[in-house]
Amino acid sequence: MPSDDDLALADEVSGQLIRLVRLMERKHAQYQADHPDAVERATYLLLVHLVKDGPRRAGTLAEAVHSDPSTISRQVAHLVRLGLVERTTDPEDGRATLLVATDEGRRVFEENRRVRIERIAEMLDDWPVEDRRKLAELLARFTTDFANNALKPRPAEAPPAPPVEATAGGSRSLPG
């Protein structure tokens, strides 16, 4: 069982993570407002997977991003309309369709990646190199542990014991 100090530190980390996510959401919303053709973050994640992992079937893509096929279908349709993804016949099974990032999709991915990396480099520019390395190391460790912990089934918690009523002859449990 974690100590009170462990829980207080976890609360501080949790609070900072919540703050970071909110700041990122706000920044993304501002970007969306400034760029009407921008792709939603969840939809962009599909493009990222297709660029990094290569052509995939929609079902495999849905599994990779932990989403349901109907959501993926709608998001892929949007990427196809934008010319960032195309549907092709699966060479191994002519009845199936593969989703493939287009040249434009790869260009958009690389441009977004470049801008993100440059912004982070600018933010960290006045940090000592060792601090930047340590941040990268700790973030990698944290995200790995987070992913692994999220995949573990949590043990079922025991229901709370019924309240005990004091009686003259001892104590007895009250009915729930």
Q: Where are the domains of the chain?
A: 1-37, 39-149
- From first to last of the 176 residues of the chain, give the pLDDT tens digit: 889 999 999 999 999 999 999 998 898 888 877 876 677 888 889 999 999 999 999 999 999 998 898 899 999 999 999 999 999 988 888 888 999 999 999 998 998 889 889 999 999 999 999 999 999 999 999 999 988 887 667 666 555 556 555 545 554 444 44
- Tell me which CATH code domain 39-149 carries: 1.10.10.10
What length is written for the chain? 176
Q: Which of 4, 53, 2, 20 is nearest to 135 (CA)?
A: 20
pTM, to two decimals: 0.71
Phi, psi dihedral angles at 121 (to 5 degrees): -60, -40
Sign of CA dihedral 11, 14, 20, 21: negative
What is the pLDDT, as a whole number, of residue 167? 47
pLDDT at position 134 is: 98
